[in-house]
Amino acid sequence: MNKPPRAFFSPLASGAPAPMRELPVTLERMIHFVPAHNAKLRSRVPDMAKQVDVILANLEDAIPADAKDAARAGAVEMGKSFDFASAGVGYWSRINALNSPWHLDDVTTLVGEIGDKLDVIMVPKVEGPWDIHYMDQLLALLEAKHGVKRPIMLHAILETAQGVANVEAIAGASPRMHGICLGPADLAASRKMKTTRVGGGHPGYRVLSDANADGGERASAQQDLWHYTFAKMVDACVMHGLKPMYGPFGDFDDEAACEQQFRNAYLMGCVGAWTLHPSQIAIAKRVFTPAVDEVKLAMRMIEAMPDGTGVALVDGKMLDDATWKQAKVIVDLARLVAAREPEMARAYGL
Ligand code: 1VU
Ligand code: MG
């Protein structure tokens, strides 16, 4: 049984801000992970903010158990010491899982100390809509208690088999939902996939051509382990007006494979990916920023059909209403990039 539509947009606690009806229109090509207990990396936030769209204070996996309190305090310090909103950069935090001993302190401290600075809480290991309902209610109570003016959004990580099975219900669970990203490492473990890689392909996952009559070597090609999950996640997100994203790529030395994984995500409809190391920032920027020739072609397509209806030919290829909409996706993204990066505005001619 779903909530009645009006109730969906009512605050869940007296004094909590009204739920958002639309997501803010922002560029989120890379979510840059900062281990929040690491003072050296925290001190680099002002410099990093010049290079990325979003900075995330990580409190969950990769933070040792004995540094969880320091990471939480570090996330608060980051939110208080740097003005992310004025810099035009998003500020997110990834909290510990709902069943962990650190979860409640993470949420209560973040909302109490920096509730008005935090744009999004990333929630790991989301299994079903019940996890989002719980977060929704808890955040509303804390927002009301601390006088937070604008609802903190939720971004779920899709990283368990149960989460994948329930992804549509997760996406539609609350107006707080910002998006969902694919977490390939935990998902591989949850599914009992036989890989220790963090994202990307696997040389053993391939399709073999039929046997040759002469017994010669058979052609084979590596396949994409993540295609099914991506497609399911993208459809669930788009159906509910959320942003799909790719998560971590663990082999920092294999920049080509990282770029290919990001590009597959971009082409499938994702808006961004996590960056775990400075070397991945340029890759994410290159992939999730539409190429100049692609944008110029899309602009010519839109000009060829000014009201978006009918049929036209551009460079010998047929366009109709559907192609016009495809072109608009690219031009809309280019406008967002142009608003943030004057050199790209000039390159696109926008
Ligand atoms: O040369 P310097 O010492 O001045 O700087 C190093 C290093 O400090 C810096 N750096 C970073 N700066 C900003 N943000 C980062 N995330 C970051 N990572 C490193 O870059 C310079 C070169 O670094 P390096 O190649 O010598 O690498 P390190 O050994 O210093 O660091 C590697 C790790 C993996 C420890 C570091 O990159 C890191 O902690 N990254 C984030 C990891 C993370 O958040 N993992 C959780 C998400 S993934 C998941 O949940 C599922 C798998
Ligand atoms: Mg994980």
User: Is 62 a pocket residue for ligand 1 (Cβ < 6 Å)?
Assistant: yes
Q: How many CB atoms lie within 10 A of CB 226?
A: 21
With a cut of 90, say whether residue 28 has pLDDT above it: yes
Average pLDDT for 173-181 = 97
C-alpha separations of 77 from 9, 37, 60, 105, 324 in Å: 32, 10, 17, 16, 46
Residues 144-161: tens digit of each pLDDT: 999 999 999 999 999 999
Cα 250 to averaged position of ligand 1 atoms, centre (Å): 11
List where CATH 3.20.20.60 sits in the chain. Answer: 5-288
Q: How confident is the model at residue 3 (pLDDT cuts 50, 70, 90)?
A: confident
Give the number of the atom of ligand 1 that is nearest the alpha carbon of residue 40.
8
Specify whether the backbone of 207 is left (phi greater than 0), alpha (psi in -120 to 50) or beta: beta
Nearest ligand to the CA of 55 is 1
Q: Cα(119)–Cα(58) distance, rounded to whole angstroms?
A: 14
Q: Are strands 220-222 and 206-208 parallel, antiparallel or unpaired?
A: antiparallel
For residues 53 and 26, is the Cβ–Cβ distance under 8 A? yes
Give the number of the atom of ligand 1 that is nearest the alpha carbon of residue 44: 13
Tell me what pLDDT residue 2 has: 76
Reported ipTM: the value is 0.99
**Ligand 1: does its nearest atom lie under 6 Å from the Cβ of 323?**
no
Q: Is the CB of 93 under 6 A from ligand 1?
A: no
159 appears as a binding residue in the annotation? yes
Atom of ligand 1 nearest to the CA of 248: 48
Q: Check if 200 has its Cβ closer than 6 Å to any atom of ligand 1.
A: no
Q: Which CATH superfamily is domain 5-288 in?
A: Phosphoenolpyruvate-binding domains (3.20.20.60)
In the reported structure, the alpha carbon of residue 315 is separated from the centroid of ligand 1 by a whole-number distance in angstroms of 45
Q: CA-to-CA distance for 339 and 350, rounded, in angstroms?
A: 9
The secondary structure of 239-304 as a DSSP string is HTT-EEEE-----TT-HHHHHHHHHHHHHHT--EEEE-STHHHHHHHHHHSPPHHHHHHHHHHHHH
94 is in an annotated binding site: yes
Strand (E) or helix (H) holding 94: strand 90-94
Using the mean position of ligand 1's atoms as its centre, give its distance from the Cα of residue 51 in Å.
16
pTM of the model: 0.96
Identify which of 28, 40, 3, 16 has the alpha carbon closest to the alpha carbon of residue 273.
28
What are the φ and ψ backbone dihedral angles of 157, each rounded to 5 degrees?
Answer: -95, 130
CA-34 nearest atom, ligand 1? 16
Of 20-24, 50-54, 98-102, 241-245, the range with the lowest mean pLDDT is 20-24
Q: Is 60 annotated as a binding residue?
A: no
